[in-house]
Chains A and B, each alone.
Chain A
């Protein structure tokens, strides 16, 4: 190294200020921008809860059935995340035992429910499990031992089914984390146990599961936070049965004028406090973040026995979570109206034509695509530099790095609906008054996803390793050249996978969009809610299917840009 020329940075190689202060200034600026985006709405909103001696909390306690609402919120979070962890772990275990002919497709199958937006899946489930005219219920009532029933046997408009559906929706996230852990885990211990005569189930419970603990703890934290801020299923299923959670109470506030932001802040406070507590617990349970990233060499041996029933379990999951709701959506979209009859009616394209000829609906679809693409264009570089900063253990002042870490964590800890409510508050008044414009949607999406973008690209950077960057620098390339010519090409697939996942999350975004949208600045999720609330179920089905199609196209394009297997990268 002594003989090598000092690398010339893009900002020059001048004095101490240029070499040390300028890069630090850039990182501080990055932290400030991220901090403003993430902290400003949360802090400003929460301050509203405490003005006037905390009168907002008194108003909250005066709300009808507030005790029941809080209890439902907590029960939903705990039980749906427990169900998601159970299903997700089971799926990961099954995926690890898939026979070779179906392994590739079987490993991808548990991710497919992510392609179906939650709002579409819930709508599909309404068509299937409405107590009287749900198609699945009607078919079940034809069974000999159920034919005496007048309705049911299942009632989708109940806390039980809100929990089950939320758990199923969240299980794919658990699968992502647990299956990644399982794949990266060596199989030597399992092989040893097998040699000693342990059955597959015994090996799973005594070897595999304990080794997967970090992945499971992390996944549990993530899905608990998502369950705590769950909005879609309670909103669409709860109203008929008079079931509310804190996030739906907040949403109803935005439907009245003047919006009681103080009350909304008070309603969000328990979720925020619990969310932050979970993140802190998660961090203390898992320690240094790099422990999540398992880059150990995989075992040369693939000793896990394969089982066809494992494929059947995954197939059943796919059937329940994806195929059946999609079939119900297709059927209703082609029916003149949602009818309680299993007899195929005269099918019609009327609702497809109606949606595609509706300027407002088509405009909302385009707005979704545009805002998602612009959001990704901002999020990828933003998240990349945030992730890069987190990797610089000595080159960035620790307080700045800690701040960046916090700003990458906070959006994950704060439910989207609460963040959306805060964003509505801060961006509908000076100094930045952008309510009613497309800009507020872009800002919302960037704020919501900055954490995901950072964490996903952090994983990519860690997996890529620092050696090539060091080698590039040792060869005389400056940081910018090393970044552009070495790191970016090496991370291309990971970045494309991040872009694909971000597109899915943004295009499906519902909770925050519903909070910040205005009457004319809408995205597909928000207009779909309006059409649902307006009761034109066949058009809801059409919009849901359009969401699925556009999502698949978006993922394919991202995969094509990043290379063929980028979609699998994060899995």
Chain B
């Protein structure tokens, strides 16, 4: 493993992982309605692509709303602007479910100059948005080459497969933490942190934790967990020593603190759960051509390299430098086909009763 101090992944269950990812890929690729069959062509003629790029240059800028880590966003903007496409990218970071709320508010506000392109973790919303015609089909050379299996509804490009990780402060925790069960140690009572239900993926993480470790959540709640409004806030609190360990983080966020020599260790659990981000061009984009060009860039090897950084996430595009090699970890991704609003709401109520928080 290339990352800071990640434990070696056990060899077991690799096949199961590939089955799961392949299954997810297959389900993601299934067209949602016959109408998509015609709309899903991402391959356009060179002349048409040149026309789009010229129109994009005239638009001059693209506005992106994203919910990835700050460092990932900085890399994407830097790489895009360095590509010299004649378009300036403005990337606004919005944490959690607020991204969906802002995008939906803008949809019904014709005067607002808002997002053209979104990088969201809310794939259930993105899937619904495809059905409602809110999303434009990505086009361009990279979009055409993008694996069909990772196109949700044929229009949302799934990328940056990211495992959820734990972390702990090495000054405060001398006996290494290697599994979720380790967070139940008595000495960690009142000194372990989590992230409150700021986004649906967070809810789904706790739901998975609950289902894959029966009885764990009750014991974890009894540890008087401190809840934070974001992954970055939780990670910074671990780095500062305000809490000794955190149950919920992602590698890009932790890496930013490792780079500053924070006394912190990141742990990918033996059985890890994770998610992918979805990149989608909005049908009401004020800069539609620039959004398509930006989307194509992000789907390219160059763009994916910026997204994945140094082993922070995996990419469905082959041969992306720095991509996390998921074959070396036992990663299960969220199966969005099984996620319903009702199941999320039901679990939220259970979580609220356990943690006394939102």
Contacts and interface: CB of A to CB of B under 8 A. Distances in A.
Interface of A: 64-65, 130-133, 157, 239-242, 244, 252, 254-259, 336-341, 359-360, 428, 433-437, 518-520, 530, 532-537
B241 A535 contact: no
A252 B101 CA distance: 11
Interface residues of B, number: 56
B233 A436 contact: no
A136 B95 CA distance: 31
Given A130-B242, A257-B101, A339-B239, A242 B227 contact: yes
A536 B237 CA distance: 10
A239 B227 contact: yes
B329 to A, nearest CB: 25
A235 to B, nearest CB: 9
Interface in B326-355: 349, 352-353, 355
Closest 10 pairs (CB-CB, A-B):
A535-B233, A436-B112, A340-B241, A535-B232, A257-B101, A257-B104, A242-B357, A535-B236, A533-B229, A255-B98
A131 B234 CA distance: 15
Contact of A337 (B226, B260, B355): B260
Contacts, number: 136
A341 B242 CA distance: 11
Given A64-B358, A436-B114, A535 B109 contact: no
A194 to B, nearest CB: 53
A130 B261 CA distance: 22
B230 interface: yes
Contacts of B92: 360, 519-520
Nearest to B259: A336
Nearest to B237: A535
B212 interface: no
B15 to A, nearest CB: 37
A359 B226 CA distance: 33
Contacts of B164: none
A239 B228 contact: yes
B101 A336 contact: no
Nearest to A359: B90
Given A519-B115, A520-B113, A337 B93 contact: no
A360 B88 CA distance: 14
Given A336-B261, A519-B92, A532-B233, 7 more contacts: A240-B228, A242-B356, A255-B101, A257-B101, A435-B111, A436-B106, A535-B230
A65 B356 CA distance: 8
B233 A534 contact: yes
Contacts of A537: 236, 240
A196 B113 CA distance: 73
B131 to A, nearest CB: 16
Interface string B88-105: 001011111110111011
A534 B109 contact: no
A132 B191 contact: yes
Nearest to B257: A337
Contacts of B226: 157, 240-241
B196 interface: yes
Contacts of A157: 226
B70 interface: yes
A397 B262 CA distance: 69
B93 A535 contact: no
B126 to A, nearest CB: 14
Contacts of B166: none
B65 A536 contact: no
Most buried by A among B115, B234, B353, B358: B358
Interface string B208-249: 000000000000000000111111111111011111000000
Most buried by B among A259, A338, A534: A534
A547 B227 CA distance: 28
A530 B240 contact: no
A359 B106 CA distance: 21
Nearest to A437: B111
B142 interface: no
A131 B118 CA distance: 38
A131 B358 CA distance: 22
A437 B352 CA distance: 36
Contacts of B232: 534-536
A133 B102 CA distance: 35
Contacts of B355: 242
A205 to B, nearest CB: 44
Nearest to A534: B232
B63 interface: yes
Contacts of B100: 257
A302 to B, nearest CB: 51
B262 A337 contact: yes
A470 B239 CA distance: 69
B185 to A, nearest CB: 15
B56 to A, nearest CB: 20
A133 B240 contact: yes
B66 to A, nearest CB: 11
24 contacts: A64-B352, A64-B358, A157-B226, A239-B227, A239-B357, A259-B105, A336-B261, A340-B240, A340-B242, A435-B111, A436-B112, A436-B114, A518-B102, A519-B65, A519-B92, A520-B90, A532-B233, A533-B229, A534-B93, A534-B95, A535-B228, A535-B231, A535-B234, A535-B236
Most buried by A among B96, B229, B236: B229
Contact of A530 (B93, B104, B106, B241): B93
A519 B114 CA distance: 7
Given A65-B356, A519-B114, A258 B104 contact: yes
B236 A254 contact: no
Interface string B58-97: 0000010100001000000000000000000010111111
Contacts of B112: 435-437, 518
A566 to B, nearest CB: 39
A434 B110 CA distance: 10
B109 A536 contact: no
Contact of B240 (A338, A428, A436): A338
